[in-house]
Structure 1
Amino acid sequence: MEHTQPEQGGLRESKRRDTLQRVAQAGLELFLARGYEATTVDDISAAAGISRRTFFHYFKSKDEVLLAWQTGLVESLRQAVLQEENRQAPLDALCGALLKLAADYDSDATFAIAQLLRSNDQLRAANQVKFLQLEQAAFEALCHLWPQRRRRGRLRMVAMIGLGAFRVGIDEWTEEGGTQPFSQRIGHAFTMLRAELQVASAAAPSQ
């Protein structure tokens, strides 16, 4: 009897995760097949085998269904940065972590989702929140690797420009039709960033 309540709680949580995953997958398949605008909450509910009321128990809107594929992305970036060596420059550490992340998400599905997320203003705004969360996770992980308080401002700038390069890479990859591997396009974005930083450094007046 002592283990009944924890076991029941574990089963409920497992059932919840399974349902959430099923709804997210059903929604994603419909978005890719019909388009975001043409897919309704009722369509997703029917495809997932749940009621409309149950749908809203898991998601506030169909926007959240499309963004659900990114679940775990923030924590994945955090862990990827923490696994980097602090004997390198912080920007190199962040670049290495983002390249690993890009390799994990290098697929046709990622390209299709990236296109959908750019398809209207509402989705672009929702995706902006995710990038801010990624930026914060990168900053926190960098601060763990380089804990000196005097470096926090610089590390925040590294997180900002590093995630900026990541976003540019995603945008260009999507605009070019995903013809290059995703990780290669992200690597190219960081190459461009480093080149511009070198130009700025060379142009700066000596003190």
Structure 2
Amino acid sequence: MTATKEEAAEPREGLRERKRRQTRARIAEAGMRLFLERGFEETTLDAIAEQADIARRTFFHYFDTKEAILNTLQDTTESSLRAVIVEADPKSAPFDVVCEAMLGMISRFGTEEARAIDRLLRSTETLRARKQANYQTQEQMIFEALRQKWPEPDLALKLRLVSLACVGALRLASDAWSASDGTRPLQDHLVDVFSALRADITRGSPMALD
């Protein structure tokens, strides 16, 4: 009897969790859409709640603040990036793995969408600070993914350097792309920086990141 009750309860629990995930995703999508259309500061919680078809108080069951909605974008990109790194061929060079993973991540965003998100994240002092903090979080995530893939203790320093170098490359490419108002694709800027890294740091160096 107990087993039957537990089996009967599992689908209901699964349904609740699925509904909660769907509601959270709907709120996040509504928030991002409004941020891009109206601006971050101009978007109110009431507007997000209306777009997501929820009560205002329900918002706080899923997010503490509207700033927290931006974390969903980072979580999605980091999850994809981590998966590519962890699933990479262990015979590949760690530097190449991260380069390819980053380029693949960027290619998923259309040029206009990427420019709109970049403008959003640079639109206020708070969001600019968040953008810089995100780079630090991303660097740590990449390092942990690399360590999961290559757990040998003697590789730890090398993998830390790879994660630092690649995130630094992304920052430089992003700044150059933003300064040029997106006249060249972000991928092209990132390829340029990665090429410079490989030519000036890794090739023939005793600390080669490959």
Q: Compute the TM-score of the two structures, normalised by the length of structure 2.
A: 0.85
Q: Partners in 2 of 1:41 and 1:153 — Cα distance?
A: 44
Q: In structure 2, what residue type is equivalent to 1:72?
A: T
CA contact 1:76–1:101 (8 Å) conserved in 2: yes
- Match of 1:205? none
Structure 1: where are the runs of 5+ without partners? 203-207
**Pairwise CA distance, 1:55:** 0.9
Report the alpha carbon displacement of residue 45 of structure 1 after superposing the two structures with TM.
Answer: 1.2
Q: Whole-Å Cα distance in 2 between the matches of residues 158 and 66 of structure 1? A: 26
Structure 2 residue 31 is matched with structure 1 residue 27? yes
Counterpart of 2:116 in structure 1: which amino acid?
A: A
Residues 19-69 of structure 1: per-residue CA shift (max 9 Å, x gap): 111111111121122111111112111221212211111111111223322
Does residue 1:86 correspond to 2:90, yes or no? Answer: yes
Alignment partner for residue 113 of structure 2, among 109, 115, 140?
109
Structure 2 spans left out of the alignment, 5+ residues = none
Change (3 A) 1:102 1:149: same
Q: Does 1:123 align with 2:102?
A: no
The CA RMSD measured in Å over matched residues stands at 2.4
- Report the Cα offset of residue 190 of structure 1: 1.0
Q: How does 1:174-193 map to 2 (within 5 A)?
A: 174-193=178-197
Question: What is the count of residue pairs matched by the alignment?
Answer: 203
Amino acid at match of 1:102: I
C-alpha separation in 1, matches of 2:71 and 2:150: 31
Aligned pairs (5 A) from 1:98-177? 98-177=102-181
1:59 — aligned with what?
Answer: 63
Q: Do 1:138 and 1:159's aligned partners in 2 also have CA atoms closer than 8 Å?
A: yes
**Which shows bigger deviation, 25-34 or 122-131?**
122-131
Rounded Cα–Cα distance in structure 2 between residues aligned with 1:200 and 1:164 = 21
Contact 1:166–1:186 (CA<8 Å) still a contact in 2? Answer: yes
If the length of structure 1 is used for normalisation, what is the TM-score? 0.86
Distance in 1 separating the partners of 2:150 and 2:32: 39
